[in-house]
Homo-oligomer: A and B are copies of this chain.
Amino acid sequence: MLRIGMLTSGGDCQALNAAMRGVVKGICSKRDDVEIYGFQEGYKGLIYSNFKMLTSRDFSGILTLGGTILGTSRQPFKLMRVPDENGLDKVEAMKHTYHKLNLDCLVILGGNGTHKTANMLREEGLNIITLPKTIDNDLWGTDMTFGFQSAVDIATDTIDKIHTTATSHSRVFIIEVMGHKVGWVTLHAGIAGGADIILLPEIPYDTDVVVDAINKRKAAGKRFTIIAVAEGAISKKDSKLSKKELKEKQEKKKYPSVAYEVAERIQKRTEQEVRITVPGHMQRGGSPCPYDRVLSTRLGAAAAEAILDGDFGKMMGVKNGDIVRVPLAEVAGKLKYVDPDSDIIKEARMTGISFGDK
């Protein structure tokens, strides 16, 4: 008997169900004696032994379904090794559930935070296989994560729609795209949507440069400017503050989010009206795009193969178009940032996009 636990953790994204379907169909194509334990709402389900027994039937027809049939939750990583107010050591509780159910492997789908916990469980001796899920595409060790392209599609559609209304009025439009620490979604959606200015966490912006870019467009007879700004975009000035100073400054201003901050800085210094669009959680929603369905199905099937091989402690990743097994120890705790000197940034600049830095 092969006993597989499975959980999805962290912010949800598209293709979680598709990936799990790939794992289960993959294993069941080779083995008949499989038991699947679906833990509910992320690590919480593992901690409190809250699970459902699932069969391959449960994974039929969910390829195109957004969200996750297991539910998910965000887990406070830093508190895990310390007993909480009820005296519960959560790591011990997870190990206990794993061993009590006699699991052969735990399949974990998640992003950066999730992988830290996954690696910790691996260090504790559990058999772990992970799948790189995040719209942010910021996981170290893989060229691509599933959810990313779907989020890019939605953010681009937002910019597309704004474009038509922008051409009718004489305005500046700011679209806030998801990404607190990394700018991958904003960068790709910005290029794809034909944004004029793209502001990323990795390239601190200078308000003067942004205002100049807007005014130059106006002077050239263009009626509008479209700015794609990542949630974590930061000005050059603010990027030099300490974490504490920055937090104090932000609390004083109380902008609901970065788009409102950029808007205020710009509005004073251009003569154009500014309008804000915040697609928000839409970017995690809906059916996965075909690209993500293929990617997640492949990663899922590859995970099945790793499990059948008994090759644990690995994240399934993409490297140069191939599906590869990456040691969890190498992945955990590292982020994949946009490199300001990379080709894609250079090419984007060549097509006239300003990153607000020079």
Interface-side segment among A90-98, A124-132, A205-213, A344-352: A344-352
| Contact indicator B278/A149 (Cβ below 8 Å) | no
A26 to B348, CA, bound (A): 9
**Given the complex, which residues of B lie within 8 Å of A193, measured CB to CB?**
290
Asked, given contacts A67-B167, A260-B256, whether A149 binds B291 with beta carbons under 8 Å apart, the answer is yes
Given the interface contacts A298-B344, A321-B143, A351-B21, does A158 sit within 8 Å of B282 by beta carbon? yes
| Contact assessment for B281 and A280 in the assembled complex, using a CB-CB cutoff below 8 Å | no
Question: Are A191 and B293 interface neighbours, CB within 8 A?
Answer: yes
Task: Report which of B12, B26, B276 forms a contact with A168, defined as CB distance below 8 A.
Answer: B12
Task: Check: A279 CB closer than 8 A to any chain B CB.
Answer: yes
When distances are taken between beta carbons in the complex, the residues of chain B under 8 Å from A321 are 143, 320
Q: Is the CB of A343 within 8 A of B322?
A: yes
Q: Is A267 an interface residue (CB 8 A)?
A: no
A281 CA to B294 CA in the complex, in Å? 23
A14 and B286 alpha carbons, distance in the complex (Å): 18
Interface of A is mostly: helix
Across the interface, do A72 and B290 meet the contact criterion of CB distance under 8 Å? Answer: no
**Count of chain A residues near B, Cβ 8 A:** 86
CB of A25 within 8 A of CB of B168, answer: no
Contact for A293 among B161, B167, B192, B290, CB less than 8 A = B192
Contact status A66-B164, CB under 8 Å: yes
Interface residue stretch chosen among A240-248, A299-307, A329-337: A299-307
Q: Is the beta-carbon distance between A351 and B278 smaller than 8 angstroms?
A: no
Residue in A14, A66, A304, A351 whose Cβ sees the most chain B Cβ within 10 Å: A351
Residues on B with beta carbons closer than 8 Å to the beta carbon of A22:
347, 350-351
Given contact pairs A22-B347, A162-B281, A165-B285, enumerate 6 new A-B contacts (beta carbons under 8 Å).
A12-B168, A25-B352, A153-B289, A154-B161, A173-B281, A277-B282
Please list 11 pairs of residues, one from A and one from B, whose beta carbons are closer than 8 Å in the complex, sorted by A's number.
A25-B351, A26-B351, A68-B168, A71-B167, A73-B170, A161-B285, A162-B281, A277-B282, A278-B280, A304-B350, A305-B350
